[in-house]
Chains A and B, each alone.
Chain A
Amino acid sequence: MADETKQPETPPQAPEREDAPRAPQPTRTDDKSPSPGAPVQDAGALPPPPESANTGGAPPTPESQAAQTGKAPSGSSSSGTTVPAASGDPTQAPAAETPEERKTRLIAEAQARKAAAQPPGGASPAAGSPTGSPSASDAEKAAKIAEAKARVAAAKQAAGDKPSPPQPGAAAAGAPGAPKAPVKKKEEGPKPTDASGHALVKRLRERLKEAVLEASEFLGQLSIRIAPPRIVEVCDALKRDSQTPFNYLSDLTCVHTPEREDAPFEIVYNLYSITGNERVRLKVAVAEDEGVESVVSVWPTANWMEREVYDLFGVAFRNHPDLRRILLPEDWEGHPFRKEYPLEFIENNWTAKHLPEFSDVQKEQLAQRRAYGLESLSTEEERRMREIFRGGKEVMPKDK
């Protein structure tokens, strides 16, 4: 490890090993080293106190103080340091110079070079006004503020002058402060279009004529409204279609629309052709007491789907092999997916008949469970929640 203490015997230009660890050294911008006779302060030592810095070097000059602090030399330096030379010539460095003085001198030289490199228009206390008076500093700030404002105004002007599509009645759109053109409202969403020209619709109409009542396409989805009495015929034709055989009944569901009094239920068949990778949706509007023919003979998977629609909507499917409720008990009253059926559970004849009657205590407990929303929880979850409610202060520490 290199010796970090005083090295008076070391020659100033002694070569150093590049790989040897070095102690932090003061930055040197020139090759000048202190003369061997001058006191050399170790770089690793603590810097001398400010009052001791004034004692070692040459007496400070007003110019050097101005160059260092940027202030007029009339006042005393606030830092308490002295600068031996303010000029950029390093040869003017005094012979006896402490590292602190050297550092200060180098800083002053760097500032002087920076001031000299600035353009003539730039206001700097070192370059524009060598005296560095406070009024000059204020003028510099004012100039900078004015320059910044000019830049902002230019940027705003450039933003306002951007080419925009011509708007009717907006002649002064580019002028700053002019009212902006009204934002164009979004066009309405896509609407279904007539799909009479669809190849599949054409084929169906050629074969079945009046069975196809209407065909529409929405977002690439083909929907065909079928005459209710001919639904089985249409389904069979689609399943046996040579180009796109719809051999998969993807879904069978229903929509209840009470406003349509003549046919409030609409049975929806979603078909998929596995070989042709095409989909089509068939719709049949039926009345409640009318019902619709079952398509189990075409797709056996329609069996449970039609039972589900019958259970939840109450639409009857004629010629169904086993038409009975699939989810609810046989003696359940009502069809829950109809619009007149409320979402929330209500006591009815079935519950009164099949469920044990509650005592007053049980009714009170049920009311409490409903009030806290516990009836939807499992037994274990409810037990945990009740424990939390009992220790309510632990749950809500703010109440303590």
Chain B
Amino acid sequence: MSPKELAAKYEAKVFDTPEAATGAGFELTETMSPRNTWNKASAAQAILSKLLARRKSGEAAEIGLVLDSKSVTGCYKRRDEG
């Protein structure tokens, strides 16, 4: 599956740039710069797995991926405490 398909499957938002994600109130997590398509999908899968754990634990209200041409970055929006 491609990173976009993975994001759709796990209900994650997709951003083109890190600025767009931070502008929408998301916090950036780790970034991976894979060299090829397969590694990019794998990187997206790995990042999403950790983000899903955050969402499952209640830390994250929303999760997302920043899909740059040469990198994949995870992001999430914190759940409001109030």
Contact = CB atoms under 8 A, between A and B. Distances in A.
Nearest to B49: A340
Nearest to A344: B39
A344 B34 contact: yes
Interface residues on B, range: 10 to 19
A351 to B, nearest CB: 15
Contacts of A342: 32, 34, 39, 42-43, 45-46
A182 interface: no
The dominant DSSP class at the B interface is helix
A344 B49 contact: no
A117 interface: no
Contacts of A341: 46
Interface in A332-358: 339-344, 346
Nearest to A375: B35
Interface in A344-378: 344, 346, 370, 373
Contact of A346 (B32, B45, B52): B32
Contact of A344 (B32, B50, B52): B32
Given A342-B43, A343-B42, A344-B43, A370 B35 contact: yes
Contacts of A258: 49, 52
A370 B70 CA distance: 13
A87 B38 CA distance: 85
Contact of A339 (B34, B38, B39, B49): B49
Interface residues on A, range: 10 to 19
Nearest to A371: B35
Contacts of B34: 342-344
A44 B73 CA distance: 91
B32 A339 contact: no
Contacts of B46: 339-342
A370 B32 CA distance: 14
A146 to B, nearest CB: 60
A339 B52 CA distance: 12
B17 to A, nearest CB: 22
B65 to A, nearest CB: 14
A86 B42 CA distance: 89
Interface string B54-65: 000000000000
B45 A344 contact: no
Interface in A249-264: 258
A343 B39 contact: yes
Contacts of A343: 34, 38-39, 42-43
A258 B49 CA distance: 8
Contacts of A340: 45-46, 49-50
Contacts of B39: 342-344
A343 B42 CA distance: 6
A339 B35 CA distance: 18
Contacts of B38: 343
A87 B13 CA distance: 96
Contacts of A339: 45-46, 49
Interface string A306-349: 00000000000000000000000000000000011111101000
Contacts of B43: 342-344
B49 to A, nearest CB: 3
**Most interface-central of A341, A343, A370, A373 (chain B CB within 10 A):** A343
A367 to B, nearest CB: 11
A137 to B, nearest CB: 67
20 contacts: A258-B49, A258-B52, A339-B45, A340-B46, A340-B49, A340-B50, A341-B46, A342-B32, A342-B34, A342-B39, A342-B42, A342-B43, A342-B45, A342-B46, A343-B34, A343-B39, A343-B42, A344-B35, A344-B39, A344-B43
The 10 residue pairs across chains A and B that have the minimum distance between CB atoms:
A340-B49, A343-B42, A342-B46, A344-B39, A342-B43, A344-B34, A343-B39, A342-B42, A340-B46, A339-B45
Interface of A: 258, 339-344, 346, 370, 373
Given A343-B43, A344-B42, 20 more contacts: A258-B49, A258-B52, A339-B45, A340-B45, A340-B46, A340-B49, A342-B32, A342-B42, A342-B43, A342-B46, A343-B34, A343-B38, A343-B39, A343-B42, A344-B32, A344-B34, A344-B35, A344-B39, A344-B43, A370-B35
